Amino acid sequence: MLIQNGFKREARNAAQGTGPVAASKGLRAAGRFSGSRAGSFLRSGEEGQGLVEICLVLPLLLILLTGIFTFGIAYINQMTLTNAVGVGAQTLQVIRSTTTDPCKDVYNAITKAAPNFNASNITMTITMNGNTPITANSCSSDVSELSAGTTNTVQATYPCNLAIYGRTFAPGCTLSATVSTYEY
């Protein structure tokens, strides 16, 4: 009888009926006690390596993703402000002959175009006909200031917040957008 696993004596005893047949793992483990089995398990392979790698990489990955999201939000705020200032400039161009308070109308158009912004943090500056810039949310102006054939400029600023986990990366950061229109 040919035994391939090398346990000839156990196979012979089993064939003669003098002893039980045991699996090869059982024969090897029978001589060990439980303390060496646990030590052998801990030294045998790389079962815990994945957990250690995740513990080392996960915080760095979360910081990187949070930074990407924070700068993404700042970029979206910049695009929103640019769009809102464009809406304000268009409003100024349309209402040039029908308003008595162009600053208030433009400010209202900007705040409506940027609903996620805190309206009290938006600083607006209007330059009409190349005159002195007006930095106010309300101004009484002659309609003659908004005459055809002139350039009007609307500028707005808004504070940005680039804080990641309580640490501010750009203190005093402000977003700014400027749009100039030509009055026809």
Q: What is the per-residue pLDDT across 54-70, written as a single tens digit (0 to 9) for each?
A: 999 999 999 999 989 98
Q: Is residue 178 part of a domain?
A: yes
Q: Is residue 86 part of a domain?
A: yes
- Entry pTM: 0.67
Mean pLDDT of the residues in the chain: 79
pLDDT at residue number 164? 81
* Cα-only R_g, the chain: 38
Q: Is the pLDDT of residue 48 over 60?
A: yes
Domain containing residue 116 = 49-182
Q: Is the pLDDT of residue 110 over 90?
A: yes
Q: How confident is the model at residue 113 (pLDDT cuts 50, 70, 90)?
A: very high
Interval 70-99 mean pLDDT: 90
Q: Is residue 149 part of a domain?
A: yes
Q: Is the pLDDT of residue 17 over 70?
A: no
SS3 assignment for 125-152: EEEECCCCCECCCCCCCCHHHHCCCCEE
What total of structural domains would you count in the chain? 1
Interval 85-108 mean pLDDT: 88
pLDDT at residue number 32? 47
Cα 154 to Cα 138: distance, rounded to the nearest angstrom = 14
Q: How confident is the model at residue 139 (pLDDT cuts 50, 70, 90)?
A: confident
Q: Is residue 90 part of a domain?
A: yes
Q: Is residue 72 part of a domain?
A: yes
Which is nearest to 179 in space by CA: 77, 83, 79?
Answer: 83
pLDDT at residue number 156? 95
Q: Is residue 111 part of a domain?
A: yes
Q: Which amino acid is at 24?
A: S
Helix axes of 102-113 and 49-94: crossing angle, nearest 10 degrees: 150
Q: Is residue 1 part of a domain?
A: no
Interval 164-169 mean pLDDT: 81
